[in-house]
A and B are shown apart, each in its own frame.
Chain A
């Protein structure tokens, strides 16, 4: 493993903004350690938790435990924490983010100090742990409960954040009222818990300002990412795996807004100069699902070396344009958060209903394929995460069934060539988010090579 760490080189980014993320994340980690020493309240929590702005408005410092596990993975230093979790009785088949986090926390509790050579100073002992499960992710519902076995004095608060699945006979508008009502109640329960933990009452004017800033940031991100439609694309998914940091870890802060202002400016300049991720852009790919292997982000560079770029991804695209999300006339910041959440998760329902055989997840892919002029789709199946990875194969199969955008000539029954349409080529990579033992660089790159050959072949047979 030491050799593996030594050999691993830093990934090249296309944008300066993406390159600035590393130090920012390092500062998160050391910032939480400093904050703890200064007596500030720190809370374990998860990205896409909806209540970022609530934490910011109450000066509670979030510790993004998935992020710390991802850092361990990116530094190729997760294995010892995974092994520790296994020794506690936790199966390697479970979410490896959680296993890494629990293994680290248990080790720190046992030692009474950070484990030796803890990545970037280590993960701080929290004052509270905020779960947020419901339909999004089982490990979010179980992780902190499991951690509490080793930190019994640290309170856990778990909230429901439901959204409805797509049905034939039930529209989301049929259930919207009681979904939103429940989310609002859950958020109010969280605020009451946080007030008790901090001994401070929520300042709702401040929360309103923070939510407002969050909504403006959503719109800014949407506008900024939309610039990637340009040909050549000025930014790829590899960089987006960096720029997800201010989107997912800093929502409701001025820093996040300013970051995307900077990225927006940078992308506009690149577009004006026609400066792409690669000099000769041959293939435009959609990262259509799956969390990345944090230890192998340089695979994006490998794609680039073949002239393939990723102008869009569905992973970590955790925003939509607020202009397109239904928001009732309310000034209550808690209600605004609840409506935003609901609106985001049902965003593609109406569009899916208009296309026979479609589904919101498939419709999302189709929209991006068209908006970003996509030639092929790549997905990643991370073996330890059911949340984001179950259903991906079906999505590809269903997409191929209902959407064939590429006109090609094929040999007909009478021996003559006839025009038909075919589906987009796709590639499913297999590994994990942080468990490097599941990854083979040689195999992965062989598969990428084969996929590039398919793209070449399809491009040649395409009827223009």
Chain B
């Protein structure tokens, strides 16, 4: 590892372990920092308003304590962890938070967040569940309501040109993420799953232009890797929601698997879909966030009453990525109390079975306390893969 290489990766390590340090600096420079948790927040609108979107993380090592005072333990454990950290002041540099209607855990606790954190700004973006023409029109209107509301807070009328510029920056960002994913295709991959999780996590804590620059530097350094630092072992896919701590990925890699692809919120689900350019920017954003982000919270109609086609329509991206990245096995990783993913487990299992990809299903609690159990099961799975 040369000096520059060491420099970029140590910067990433620093941003990852002291998460939010750049946001704090920007806050001190007078920028407004807007927190969010889920992939359905239209970041382009926040950036176009001159604010800095900041993806809040949970912390599997931090026991949930103060968060329990106002938030029931039956909420999504990942979301509870984010709330707990916020209550404890981990994110006290935030000027506002945006919550999307992704799931009950978010929608039904909007008031809990809003009143407990009492930030200067908060807003709820109401996503439809269906993909009808009317849903798209509704979401378009809802995004315009958000645009107006945030513009009011930021003291700036958000123009179409502002949005187009932000869309360009985010599309660029997604191209760079795709380039990073390409480095996982060789066997063994050029980049480990642990490294990529850190890079993407850090990227979500920075203004998009800075994230783009960071990704460029990373890509440049990784381009110099002549040999993979990894061994040629079983290639694993992770399917599930948000995995923003490295422990699961690292555990798999420590146990002798290479995590080469995912369909996670902070992975391909969020980072790869582009926004169309050239037309009305709000309509394009509505299409990207509602239609292109494939999350189980959005209902995709089984139009032909055909089970196989339905599974393909809902989970086809899993098969696509599994083939592209030559996965040998997959881990379906779902948090306890997650209704959107939880109700899909039998169908997802059926899909994995249909594409003949061996699957390990894990239900977890977003806590370091379960790592021992996970280790046993993952180890057995990797042994089974041979």
Report A's interface with B, CB cutoff 8 A.
88-91, 93-95, 98, 131, 133-135, 137-139, 141-143, 145-146, 148-149, 152-153, 155-156, 158-160, 162, 164-170, 174-175, 178-179, 181-182, 185-186, 189, 357, 359, 361, 381, 383-387, 389-394, 397-398
Contact = CB atoms under 8 A, between A and B. Distances in A.
B373 interface: no
A156 B343 CA distance: 15
B342 A141 contact: no
A386 B107 CA distance: 10
B339 to A, nearest CB: 4
A165 B99 CA distance: 11
A394 B116 contact: yes
B32 interface: no
Given A89-B361, A90-B345, A165-B126, A178 B138 contact: yes
Interface string B334-360: 101101101111110110000000000
Contacts of B343: 90, 94, 98, 139, 142-143, 145-146
B200 to A, nearest CB: 26
A142 B70 contact: no
B337 A158 contact: no
A138 B132 contact: no
Contacts of B107: 135, 165
B137 interface: yes
A255 B334 CA distance: 45
B230 interface: no
Given A164-B126, A386-B74, A158 B301 contact: yes
Contacts of A159: 130
Contact of A146 (B109, B129, B145, B346): B346
22 contacts: A91-B334, A133-B299, A138-B104, A141-B340, A142-B339, A142-B340, A145-B302, A152-B306, A160-B130, A160-B132, A167-B124, A167-B149, A168-B122, A170-B149, A175-B142, A178-B138, A359-B111, A383-B74, A384-B74, A386-B108, A389-B72, A393-B72
Nearest to B347: A149
B157 to A, nearest CB: 15
Contacts of B130: 158-160, 186
Please name the 3 residue pairs, one residue from A and one from B, whose CB atoms are nearest each other, closest first: A185-B134, A142-B343, A138-B339
B218 interface: no
A254 to B, nearest CB: 33
A30 B126 CA distance: 40
Contacts of B129: 133-134, 141, 158, 160
Contact of A394 (B112, B149, B361): B112
A160 B135 contact: yes
A364 B279 CA distance: 44
Interface residues of B, number: 61
B299 A158 contact: yes
Given A145-B344, A393-B72, 19 more contacts: A89-B361, A90-B343, A131-B299, A138-B104, A145-B299, A148-B302, A153-B305, A155-B305, A159-B130, A160-B130, A168-B122, A169-B153, A181-B137, A181-B138, A357-B115, A386-B108, A389-B74, A390-B72, A394-B116
B346 A390 contact: no
A87 B248 CA distance: 25
Contacts of B123: 167, 169-170
B104 to A, nearest CB: 4
A179 B346 contact: no
Most chain B C-beta atoms within 10 Å of own C-beta, residue among A98, A153, A169, A175: A169
B104 A387 contact: yes
B145 A152 contact: no
Most chain B C-beta atoms within 10 Å of own C-beta, residue among A148, A159, A165, A397: A165
A393 B75 CA distance: 12
A133 B112 CA distance: 22
B74 to A, nearest CB: 5
Interface string B290-315: 00000011010110011100100000
Nearest to A182: B138
Contacts of A133: 129, 299
Contact of B336 (A93, A152, A153, A168): A93
Contacts of B137: 178, 181-182
B104 A386 contact: yes
B340 A138 contact: yes
Given A149-B346, A386-B75, A397 B299 contact: no
Interface string B66-77: 000111101100
A400 B132 CA distance: 43
A162 B72 contact: no
A391 B116 CA distance: 11
A107 to B, nearest CB: 14
A143 B129 CA distance: 14
A318 to B, nearest CB: 17
A78 B74 CA distance: 21
B342 A91 contact: yes
B101 interface: yes
Contact of A137 (B69, B104, B105, B112): B104
B141 interface: yes
B297 to A, nearest CB: 7
A94 B129 CA distance: 19
Contacts of B70: 393-394, 397
B344 A91 contact: no
B124 A165 contact: yes
Contacts of A384: 74
B103 interface: yes
A134 B128 contact: yes
A88 B346 contact: yes
B382 to A, nearest CB: 21
Nearest to A398: B115
Contacts of A153: 305
Contacts of B138: 160, 162, 178-179, 181-182
Given A381-B74, A398-B115, A186 B132 contact: yes
Given A135-B101, A146-B347, A390 B299 contact: no
B160 interface: no
A343 to B, nearest CB: 17
Contacts of A152: 305-307, 310
Nearest to A165: B124
A318 B302 CA distance: 31
Contacts of B89: none
Interface string B361-381: 101000000000000000000
B110 interface: yes
Given A89-B361, A138-B339, A160-B129, A390 B349 contact: no
B186 interface: no
